[in-house]
């Protein structure tokens, strides 16, 4: 069992394969020596302009399904092919030995995502499947192009976003949830407007990316933040009546290093909400959420994810039999409002109105899942849910994800507008 060769996802993989039959100008090469990148190059055919590769993540650091790299040496206007297969690295559950490779479906979006500037991201055409491979073609009008599983959202993206929001609005502060185990800053946006004291505000906590590969969930968080700090009168109401904490990336270390995060050793972030969390981000979030609970104002907790490749957008909730009223009724009302808005987004982000259940039968560590932990430790009125946003759909783009976040935020406002106001003289 030797994972050493896979352990360096940020390694520069500049593979120039000698090929006498090369026809185009520059040889194609691959770079992955930057934040969030991950790939393992298997071959580059300079004659057919095709790169064969697989995700480069270390399975010790979570599902090796995320991939993101830059192709250099493109003759502008030529067609290149990226042919991808699932990682062959064996992985196992955090408490067991590595057993087998991860199913390749997690690594193979129907359409990959690419960018010429590393900022604006578009889908490729649909990939073509053949045996264990999927081939994506693109025709960039540039010498270099980034290509990825989905639109990347790195620690720098999060820090830039949080700082831009704080600069553009007097009601937003760029904060830091904590430093990670690898000493990276975990950016957090803190929002409230006006003189209302915090104790008389609804407490709202929104976090994304406990699973590092689920990049779309960070774009949903960003959409939430942008709506919240926008001009809409409803956004102003929410800023004036609530105190909102937004963490676009929880697992900052695996996001930075291009690892998958899910089922990482020794503990998945979203199974780490125990009395003694392993991860600094979980410990810090648990403490701040705990403060809101102690103040009786943990009103809404939303944990953002991306689901399985065939799933639409949907909520995960705890089974009713493990909860008490008024929590169940309030949660159902919030789900109804959120579904009513997200399901009407144009262009469509397909959504199911049937939540899935994360209880005793879902996972042995179900009590340590963040939204469950908050439900079980929360106030009687606490609504705590997980939103899974569709990722393998033609509208699963930065715009689509942000639209989901905006509608989620509008639903939070609508829901809190129905709740009794916190007392304030
Ligand atoms: Zn997840």
pLDDT per position as a tens digit, 227-277: 999 999 999 999 999 999 999 999 999 999 999 999 999 999 999 999 999
> How much distance in Å is there from the Cα of 233 to the middle of ligand 1?
32
User: Residue 423: pLDDT above 50?
Assistant: yes
- Structure pTM? 0.94
What sign for the dihedral angle of Cα 312, 298, 207, 224? positive
pLDDT value for 361: 87
Among 148, 179, 200, give the residue marking a domain's end: 148
Tell me the CA end-to-end span of the chain in Å, nearest whole number: 66
Are 324 and 310 contacting, i.e. CB atoms less than 8 angstroms apart? no
Among 113, 148, 183, give the residue marking a domain's end: 148
> How much distance in Å is there from the Cα of 307 to the middle of ligand 1?
6
Tell me the CATH number at 120.
2.60.40.3120
pLDDT value for 246: 99
* Same-domain status, 253 and 401: yes
The fraction of the chain above a pLDDT of 90, given in percent, is 90
What tokens appear for 315 in the block? 């909520």
Domain span including residue 251: 155-417
pLDDT value for 25: 80
- For residues 55-65, give the mean pLDDT: 97
> How much distance in Å is there from the Cα of 276 to the middle of ligand 1?
21
User: Residue 418: pLDDT above 70?
Assistant: yes
3-state SS assignment for residue 38: strand
pLDDT value for 243: 98
* Same-domain status, 107 and 130: yes
Summarize pLDDT for 121-164 with one digit per residue, the tens.
999 999 999 999 999 999 999 999 999 999 999 999 999 999 99
Task: Give the confidence band of 10 by pLDDT, cuts at 50, 70, 90.
Answer: very low
Among 98, 115, 148, give the residue marking a domain's end: 148
Domain contains 423 = no
Task: Give the confidence band of 4 by pLDDT, cuts at 50, 70, 90.
Answer: very low
> How much distance in Å is there from the Cα of 358 to the middle of ligand 1?
12
User: Residue 334: pLDDT above 60?
Assistant: yes
Distance of CA 370 to the CA centre of its chain: 15
* Same-domain status, 84 and 204: no
* Same-domain status, 291 and 401: yes
DSSP codes joined into one string, 180-235: -TT--EEEEEEE--SS--GGGSEEEEEEE-SSTT-HHHHHHHHHHHHHHTSS-HHH
* Same-domain status, 139 and 233: no
Are 108 and 87 contacting, i.e. CB atoms less than 8 angstroms apart? no
Domain contains 11 = yes
Distance of CA 123 to the CA centre of its chain: 17
pLDDT value for 424: 63
What whole-number distance in Å separates Cα of residue 12 and Cα of residue 115? 19
pLDDT value for 362: 86
- For residues 111-124, give the mean pLDDT: 97
What whole-number distance in Å separates Cα of residue 92 and Cα of residue 111? 28
> How much distance in Å is there from the Cα of 305 to the middle of ligand 1?
4
Go through the chain and tell me how many residues it has.
425
Task: Give the confidence band of 7 by pLDDT, cuts at 50, 70, 90.
Answer: very low
Tell me the CATH number at 175.
3.40.630.10
Summarize pLDDT for 96-108 with one digit per residue, the tens.
999 999 999 999 9
* Same-domain status, 167 and 83: no
* Same-domain status, 191 and 305: yes
* Same-domain status, 46 and 13: yes
* Same-domain status, 240 and 263: yes
In the 8-state DSSP scheme, what is residue 340?
Answer: H
> How much distance in Å is there from the Cα of 422 to the middle of ligand 1?
33
* Same-domain status, 133 and 189: no
Q: How many domains are there within the chain?
A: 2
> How much distance in Å is there from the Cα of 300 to the middle of ligand 1?
19
Domain contains 425 = no
The 3-class secondary structure across 132-182, one letter per residue, is CEEEEEECCCCCCEEEECCCCCCHHHHHHHHHHHHHHCCCEEEEEEEECCC
Domain contains 361 = yes
pLDDT value for 425: 47
pLDDT value for 359: 86
Domain contains 58 = yes
Average pLDDT for the chain: 94
> How much distance in Å is there from the Cα of 62 to the middle of ligand 1?
11
* Same-domain status, 279 and 172: yes
What sign for the dihedral angle of Cα 318, 319, 321, 326? positive
> How much distance in Å is there from the Cα of 15 to the middle of ligand 1?
33
User: Residue 14: pLDDT above 60?
Assistant: no
Domain contains 424 = no
- For residues 61-78, give the mean pLDDT: 98
Q: Which long-range contacts (CB under 8 A, 24 or more apart) does 216-219 make?
A: 216/150, 216/151, 216/306, 216/389, 216/391, 216/396, 216/401, 217/304, 217/305, 217/306, 217/389, 217/401, 218/153, 218/157, 218/158, 218/248, 218/249, 218/304, 219/151, 219/153, 219/398, 219/401, 219/402, 219/405
> How much distance in Å is there from the Cα of 386 to the middle of ligand 1?
9
Domain contains 422 = no
> How much distance in Å is there from the Cα of 211 to the middle of ligand 1?
5
What whole-number distance in Å separates Cα of residue 370 and Cα of residue 267? 13
- For residues 40-64, give the mean pLDDT: 97
Summarize pLDDT for 158-203 with one digit per residue, the tens.
999 999 999 999 999 999 999 999 999 999 999 999 999 999 999 9
User: Residue 51: pLDDT above 90?
Assistant: yes
* Same-domain status, 138 and 177: no
What tokens appear for 290 in the block? 């705990």
Domain contains 73 = yes
């Amino acid at each position: 069992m030797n994972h050493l060769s896979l352990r360096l996802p940020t390694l520069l993989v500049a593979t120039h394969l000698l090929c006498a039959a090369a026809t185009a100008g520059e040889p194609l090469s691959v770079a992955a020596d930057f934040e969030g990148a991950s790939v393992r190059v298997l071959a580059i055919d300079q004659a057919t302009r095709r790169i064969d590769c697989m995700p480069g993540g270390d399975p010790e650091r979570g599902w090796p399904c995320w991939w993101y790299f830059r192709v250099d040496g493109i003759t502008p206007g030529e067609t290149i092919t990226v042919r991808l297969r699932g990682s062959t690295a064996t992985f196992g559950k955090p408490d067991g030995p590595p057993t087998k490779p991860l199913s390749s479906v997690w690594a193979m979006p129907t359409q990959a995502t690419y960018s010429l500037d590393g900022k604006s991201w578009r889908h490729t055409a649909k990939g073509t499947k053949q045996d264990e491979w999927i081939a994506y073609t693109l025709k960039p009008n540039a010498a270099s192009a980034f290509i990825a599983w989905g639109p990347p959202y790195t620690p720098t993206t999060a820090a830039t976003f949080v700082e831009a929001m704080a600069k553009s609005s007097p009601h937003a502060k760029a904060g830091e949830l904590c430093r990670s185990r690898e000493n990276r800053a975990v950016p957090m946006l803190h929002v409230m407007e006006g003189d209302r004291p915090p104790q008389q505000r609804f407490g709202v906590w929104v976090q994304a990316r406990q699973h590092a590969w689920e990049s779309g969930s960070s774009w949903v968080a960003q959409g939430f933040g942008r709506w919240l700090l926008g001009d809409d009168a409803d956004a102003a109401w929410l800023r004036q009546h609530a105190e909102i904490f937004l963490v676009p990336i929880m697992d900052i270390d695996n996001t930075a290093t291009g690892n998958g995060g899910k089922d990482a050793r020794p503990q998945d972030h979203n199974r780490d909400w125990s009395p003694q969390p392993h991860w600094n981000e979980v410990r810090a979030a648990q403490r701040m959420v705990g403060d809101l609970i102690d103040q009786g104002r943990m009103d809404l907790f939303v944990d953002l994810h991306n689901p399985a490749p065939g799933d639409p957008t949907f909520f995960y909730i705890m089974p009713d039999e493990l909860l008490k009223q008024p929590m169940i009724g309030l949660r159902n009302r919030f789900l109804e409002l959120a579904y009513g808005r997200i399901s009407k987004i144009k262009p469509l982000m397909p959504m199911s109105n049937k939540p899935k259940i994360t209880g005793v039968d879902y996972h042995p560590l179900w009590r340590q899942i963040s939204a469950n932990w908050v439900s079980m430790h929360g106030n009687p009125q606490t609504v705590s849910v997980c939103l899974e946003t569709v990722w393998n759909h033609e509208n699963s783009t930065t715009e689509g994800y942000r639209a989901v976040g905006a509608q989620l935020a509008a639903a939070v406002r609508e829901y809190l507008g129905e709740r009794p106001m916190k007392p304030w003289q």
